[in-house]
Chain A
Amino acid sequence: MSSPIAHWDPEYQRRAATIVERYPDVRSAVMPLLYLASLHHGHVTEEAMEEVAALTGLTAAQVQSVASFYTMYKRERVGRYLVSVCTSISCFLRGADEVLAAVEGATGVVDGETDDEGLFTVEHVECIGACGGAPALQVNYEFVEGVTPAKAAELCRWLRDARPEVVLGDEMQLLFGGRPSFDPGAPEPEGAIAPVPAFGPYGSARPGTGGGR
């Protein structure tokens, strides 16, 4: 029988095979495979869940159960830039609501939605662990700390105009951030490509391989 992911990028297929092999109980492979599938499809589509089910021998319902539990598996289309504004207690006290409103205003996208063009997705998120630099937000999971409503709006306009292929936390922090929670040290070499996190055990997405669209 032909592989359920024969239409994937060969590199992703190779990674999928490694993941399936890695776990004695193939069920454990569901989460990393969902990441890979969302790299291929842009988000966790129904087709992606069916493919992961076929790879692991689970039912699509079981895969859906996992995918829907974790908010970072995006089951809706995600824009090229995912702007996540933290609204938990520290950021809230330092004006997160105003930051979120500014981001909504600058992007024209309401919290939880994506624009028609597929450029921005705006969401509010629970604590992202940057309380020392509150209020904080992320673009494609890259941090910008100590933002103000005005700076946040400026950041969004910059994203719209400059359309960076890769977003770098250090760069955005420099241009639009305020006081960070700690000294970031030397600039990081890699950034993130929407809509999937660039970090994590499965390696960063490479530029131009199906991340942003």
Chain B
Amino acid sequence: MADAPDQVSITLDGRVVEVPRGALLIAAAIEAGTYIPHFCWHPRMKPVGMCRMCLVEIDTPRGKMLTTSCTTPVADGMVVETSSPVVKKAQEGVIEFLLINHPLDCPVCDKGGECPLQDQTLAYGPGDGRFVEEKRHYPKPIPISDLVALDRERCILCARCTRFSEEISGDPLIEFVDRGNHVEVNTFPNHPFTSYFSGNTVQICPVGALTARPYRFRARPWDLEAVEAVSTVDSVHSKVSLEASMNEIVRISGVDCDPTNQGWLSDKDRFVYEHLLADDRVVVPLIANGDGFREASWGEAVGLAASRLADLGGAVAGLGGARSTNEDAYVFSRFLRGVVGTPHLDAQLDDGLAPEFAAAVEPRALIDDLDDADAILLWGPDLKEELPVLYLRVRKAATAGAKLVVVHPRRTGLDDVAAHTIRYRPGEGPALLRRLAAGEGDLAEARDALGAGKVVALVGRPGLAEPAELAEAVAAFALTLDDARILPLVRRGNVFGALDMGLAPTLLPGRVSVDDAERRRALAARWGSLPDGVGMGATDILEAAASGRIGALVLLGVDPVRDHPRPDLARRALERAFVVALDLFVTDSTRHADVVLPVAGLGEIQGTVTNLEGRVQKLNRVVPPPGQARPAWSILDDLAAALGSELEADAVEKIFEELATLAPAYEGLTWDRFDWAEGRDGVVVPLEGVTPPLRHVPSDPGLAVVSERPALHLARVLYDDGVLVRHCPSLASLAPEAAAHLHPRDASVLAVREGDRVRLEGVGVVELPVVLDPTLAEGTVYVPFNLAETAALGAVPSVRIDVVREAGS
């Protein structure tokens, strides 16, 4: 009998092992080193016992019985046989049965070579079947969405995909249809499988029934060369394997990293690699030439950039770095401050949170804190649209019983699992917050839900038209609760890493305030010099550039014309200033550049990145950069050399070593640490015993209420017209239609119906069709941010609406 209270002992094939109490037999056996074949069971989903492959013999009072080990919890003293003659016969029978209808078209099946059915037929099958009848036939494959194809002949009806859709992602658009011998998995007619998470079903399908259309017939699994990395599509940093064939990334698969993605990815994480192969990727240095560009040598391009930067002295500013690695960001920070000598730099575009808040909010939550939270407050972006894998984790916690309170101007993806949903008109957040804090009226229950036990507050900007300080105020409220931790929400790739590397006017590398004299001395000693004072943030930089006070801008993977709340200002700034852009593409912003330098992208470089928890993980390299593209740090090193300085950036390991010495929050990290054992799950900084100088405890900034109508809710959608999605053919077509969403009552006041056109005037003017949205707060217009048709609108607290009347009506 087991000694530890949370352990039981079972006899597994004659061997006595200690296993966790309450575990499923299949999980316990596999953990103990005895593999039990299975198809339908998946460690991240509830068991169903559908495929019967995991049958084992268990001693019962009535003798030995065949039982599905995926539905049987372990019990103390249980005696289990996993490979007795009876079990083997059962396994052979199950395989023979599963193959009755399976087409055995393995030579042309994407799954062939990594197929559980293939592998387990070899290992556990009878080697022959007695069924000679005609197999089931269906048209194959049929597209069930733009991304996924379904081959019903191959399906073994394990229900992994249908369970994933219902249990994990909460959008059950594929289901079993019909009964008995006619059962098939399918969608509803004209309701395609438009889940943001559909690619996961392809990955967990134990046969080739679901295949990813972008990957079909691109490679054989044994040809793939794979490395581990994390997805830098958003700041959750889901663990992935980057898989390449013939020096091209052809697939991204999710890797189960317990503290972050637990194996799942959004389809954007999964298919974003397509942009790396885009025809119009910049692969040689470009120099502006009239309306376009001409190709140039590295020497000429870097020389031109350096000479103009040198001429301008310190009247230079840097934007970007939030999509780069920590090493790129660190070198960018050192280049701007130490070489160019400017304090004006910003990784964000006034579309995120205050740098101190995002980088150093205390006490900061881990994603794992969601799992044992009693309540979760989400006052920020619609996670399904902005941080989809975090949406899955919140969904899981809420389904398991955490009381979720969602505060947002309209319906979010999590409303169906929320205990309380609160709507408000953007601008009136501060007033709502005060009422929520006081538990007034209809908010009393939500306030009570937050009142007891452990609370995780997920705090960000619900929309771009709302101020960043709102998050500060919400966090300050959360800290008045008994036991609350804050998880700051900003979407962009490595924005937290960039802030940690000092890419903000108020921060130095390692979560250090820019006026920390001691740290300044240490940095200046290494960097040679450090400019005085607090520099300008993104908006001030753009204004200064537009008015000529800043003469040059260095852009590192940033698109202010599309991402800044004031696209017109960004355009004027870029038109007027001398612009050096390090980018993958000629974007709406970089087309105003004077020099465009091609950088290497995901899977083409090594480096570390830091997620929204402060978890540092490593990106590995699996393909060479195309053409003459290079890592940004190496380009910046050349630029520095041309300016007569030395950045010492000649190897990524060396840069990491330097930043781990100079950036206090990263103290104690080593480059190899992320490759082994627990380090593979990443390392949350600061490490135990390391105290970064900056600890930001939010306090209520006393925000004013803005109640102009109609308020603008301008929020991001997963598939927008941003530069990455636009260059992924499989994703670009998934962007939603641009529209002005109105509450039906507001629409009736304006006398417009669904489909009528309205003209919205914000920073710029856009004309959009009306969509009625009864879930939207009244007095609000919701417009998806950064679609081709909405990009000019800009983020303003309220807009002017004019109805476009057809002539003569």
Complex Cα distance A64/B177, Å?
7
Contact B174 A69, beta carbon cutoff 8 Å: no
Complex Cα distance A63/B176, Å?
10
**Given contacts A1-B744, A59-B188, A68 and B172 within 8 Å (CB-CB):** no
**Given contacts A1-B744, A1-B774, A61 and B191 within 8 Å (CB-CB):** yes
We find that the number of chain A residues with CB closer than 8 angstroms to chain B is 17
A85 within 8 Å of B (CB atoms)? no
23 A-B pairs with C-beta separation under 8 A? A1-B774, A46-B188, A46-B190, A50-B188, A58-B172, A59-B171, A59-B175, A59-B188, A60-B188, A61-B173, A61-B186, A61-B188, A61-B191, A62-B166, A62-B175, A64-B175, A64-B177, A65-B175, A68-B178, A69-B176, A69-B178, A70-B179, A71-B179
In the assembled complex, how far is the CB of residue A132 from the closest CB belonging to chain B, in whole angstroms? 27
Which of chain B's residues 132-177 have a Cβ closer than 8 Å to chain A? 166, 171-177
Q: Residue B179 contacts which of A49, A57, A63, A68 (CB distance < 8 angstroms)?
A: A68
Q: Which residues on the B side are within 8 Å of A61 (C-beta)?
A: 172-175, 186-188, 191
Q: Which residues on the B side are within 8 Å of A46 (C-beta)?
A: 188-190
Q: Which residue on B lies nearest to A58, using beta carbons?
A: B172
Q: Which residue on A lies nearest to B182, using beta carbons?
A: A68
Q: Which residues on the B side are within 8 Å of A65 (C-beta)?
A: 175-177
Contact A69 B188, beta carbon cutoff 8 Å: no
In the assembled complex, how far is the CB of residue B196 from the closest CB belonging to chain A, in whole angstroms? 15
In the assembled complex, how far is the CB of residue A145 from the closest CB belonging to chain B, in whole angstroms? 27
In the assembled complex, how far is the CB of residue B42 from the closest CB belonging to chain A, in whole angstroms? 20
Contact digits for A1-40, partner B, Cβ 8 Å, 1 yes 0 no: 1000000000000000000000000000000000000000
Among B187, B188, B190, B744, the one with the most A-chain Cβ atoms within 10 Å of its Cβ is B188
Q: Which residue on B lies nearest to A57, using beta carbons?
A: B416
Complex Cα distance A176/B76, Å?
66
Q: Which residues on the A side are within 8 Å of B189 (C-beta)?
A: 46
Contact digits for B186-223, partner A, Cβ 8 Å, 1 yes 0 no: 11111100000000000000000000000000000000
Contact B178 A59, beta carbon cutoff 8 Å: no
Chain B: number of interface residues, binned into ranges = 10 to 19
The 9 closest A-B CB pairs, nearest first, are A60-B188, A65-B175, A61-B175, A61-B188, A68-B178, A68-B177, A69-B179, A1-B774, A64-B188
Complex Cα distance A157/B173, Å?
46
Q: Which residues on the A side are within 8 Å of B178 (C-beta)?
A: 68-69
Q: Which residue on A lies nearest to B171, using beta carbons?
A: A59
Q: Which residues on the B side are within 8 Å of A60 (C-beta)?
A: 188, 191
Q: How many A-B residue pairs have CB under 8 A?
A: 43
Among B174, B191, B416, B744, the one with the most A-chain Cβ atoms within 10 Å of its Cβ is B191
In the assembled complex, how far is the CB of residue B468 from the closest CB belonging to chain A, in whole angstroms? 34
Q: Which residue on A lies nearest to B744, using beta carbons?
A: A1
Q: Which residues on the A side are within 8 Å of B166 (C-beta)?
A: 62
Main secondary structure of the interface of B (DSSP, over half): mixed
Contacts A1-B774, A59-B191 aside, 13 further interface pairs with beta carbons under 8 A come to A59-B172, A59-B173, A60-B188, A61-B172, A61-B191, A62-B166, A62-B175, A63-B188, A65-B175, A68-B178, A68-B179, A69-B176, A69-B179
Contact digits for A162-199, partner B, Cβ 8 Å, 1 yes 0 no: 00000000000000000000000000000000000000
Q: Which residues on the B side are within 8 Å of A63 (C-beta)?
A: 188
Q: Which residues on the B side are within 8 Å of A68 (C-beta)?
A: 177-179
Complex Cα distance A199/B179, Å?
24
In the assembled complex, how far is the CB of residue A27 from the closest CB belonging to chain B, in whole angstroms? 11
In the assembled complex, how far is the CB of residue A30 from the closest CB belonging to chain B, in whole angstroms? 12
Q: Which residues on the B side are within 8 Å of A71 (C-beta)?
A: 179
Among A1, A46, A65, A71, the one with the most B-chain Cβ atoms within 10 Å of its Cβ is A65
Among A1, A49, A58, A68, the one with the most B-chain Cβ atoms within 10 Å of its Cβ is A68
Q: Which residues on the A side are within 8 Å of B187 (C-beta)?
A: 61
**Given contacts A46-B189, A49-B188, A62 and B177 within 8 Å (CB-CB):** no
Q: Which residue on A lies nearest to B178, using beta carbons?
A: A68
Complex Cα distance A43/B155, Å?
29
Q: Which residues on the B side are within 8 Å of A1 (C-beta)?
A: 744, 774
Complex Cα distance A62/B166, Å?
10
Complex Cα distance A61/B161, Å?
13
Q: Which residue on A lies nearest to B775, using beta carbons?
A: A1
Contact A62 B172, beta carbon cutoff 8 Å: yes
Which of chain A's residues 51-83 have a Cβ closer than 8 Å to chain B? 57-65, 68-71
Q: Which residues on the A side are within 8 Å of B774 (C-beta)?
A: 1
Q: Which residues on the A side are within 8 Å of B190 (C-beta)?
A: 46
In the assembled complex, how far is the CB of residue B546 from the closest CB belonging to chain A, in whole angstroms? 45
Complex Cα distance A49/B190, Å?
13
Q: Which residue on B lies nearest to A49, using beta carbons?
A: B188
Complex Cα distance A65/B774, Å?
29
Which of chain A's residues 107-160 have a Cβ closer than 8 Å to chain B? none
In the assembled complex, how far is the CB of residue B289 from the closest CB belonging to chain A, in whole angstroms? 54
Among B171, B175, B416, the one with the most A-chain Cβ atoms within 10 Å of its Cβ is B175
Which of chain B's residues 320-343 have a Cβ closer than 8 Å to chain A? none
Q: Which residues on the B side are within 8 Å of A59 (C-beta)?
A: 171-173, 175, 188, 191
In the assembled complex, how far is the CB of residue A69 from the closest CB belonging to chain B, in whole angstroms? 5
Q: Which residues on the A side are within 8 Å of B172 (C-beta)?
A: 58-59, 61-62
Q: Which residues on the A side are within 8 Å of B416 (C-beta)?
A: 57
In the assembled complex, how far is the CB of residue B274 from the closest CB belonging to chain A, in whole angstroms? 28
Q: Which residue on B lies nearest to A1, using beta carbons?
A: B774
Complex Cα distance A139/B190, Å?
34
Among A49, A61, A64, A70, the one with the most B-chain Cβ atoms within 10 Å of its Cβ is A61
Which of chain B's residues 60-111 have a Cβ closer than 8 Å to chain A? none
Q: Which residue on A lies nearest to B189, using beta carbons?
A: A46
In the assembled complex, how far is the CB of residue A186 from the closest CB belonging to chain B, in whole angstroms? 38
Contact digits for B725-742, partner A, Cβ 8 Å, 1 yes 0 no: 000000000000000000
In the assembled complex, how far is the CB of residue B746 from the closest CB belonging to chain A, in whole angstroms? 14
Q: Which residues on the A side are within 8 Å of B174 (C-beta)?
A: 61
In the assembled complex, how far is the CB of residue B579 from the closest CB belonging to chain A, in whole angstroms? 48
In the assembled complex, how far is the CB of residue B140 from the closest CB belonging to chain A, in whole angstroms? 20
